[in-house]
Amino acid sequence: MREKITTISIAVIALSVIVLVVLEFTGGDKEAASTPAAVNIPEIPADRTPLSQNSISGSGQPQLLSDAVPSEVDPANVTSISFEEPVKDLGTMKAGAKVQAIFNFVNTGNIPLTLNGVNVDPGCRLVESPQDPIPAGGAGKIIIEFDSEGLSGAVTKTIHVNANTDPSHQHINLTAIIN
């Protein structure tokens, strides 16, 4: 009985807080509180996109996604990339283990390949990626560190590779089973 009273009291307090928040955002206007409130979202200039929290260039500095993904691709400046293993299976590991994965690739186009950025999912860290253009027919590698801390079960992490390719945004993946 005492647990039910405690649960009901907490629910009433939570509901009161929600009502107070709604009234605060509507300026205390009860009529406005019964309709969805308009939210002023700042407009982002057309030539910029939001900062990805996991976007880093090879320098380790945050990178705007618009810097990594060109809005228009000039066909004369487009090449192609082929990953030796676009999905890396890291197997089974204990929670908290850190593992490095190497993604080897080849520039299969006719002009130099330039990586504009490599963006990783949470739990991953970019260790190394080419800073200089890869000549036509040349090879390169991207090294990612995967940290399984706080994870369990089957996990897939995506690495986003932005380059002068068509499409300009390529995906490679890490998979693992965490015990």
* Tens of pLDDT, residues 96-134: 999 999 999 999 999 999 999 999 999 999 999 999 999
> Among 157, 160, 162, 163, which Cα is nearest to 171's?
160
CA angle (124 as vertex; 118, 127 as ends), nearest 5: 60
pTM comes to: 0.60
Nearby residues of 74 by Cβ (< 8 Å), 6 or more positions away: none
Q: Answer whether residue 147 shows pLDDT above 80.
A: yes
> Among 88, 91, 86, which Cα is nearest to 154's?
91
Give the integer Cα–Cα distance in Å for 121 and 167.
Answer: 20
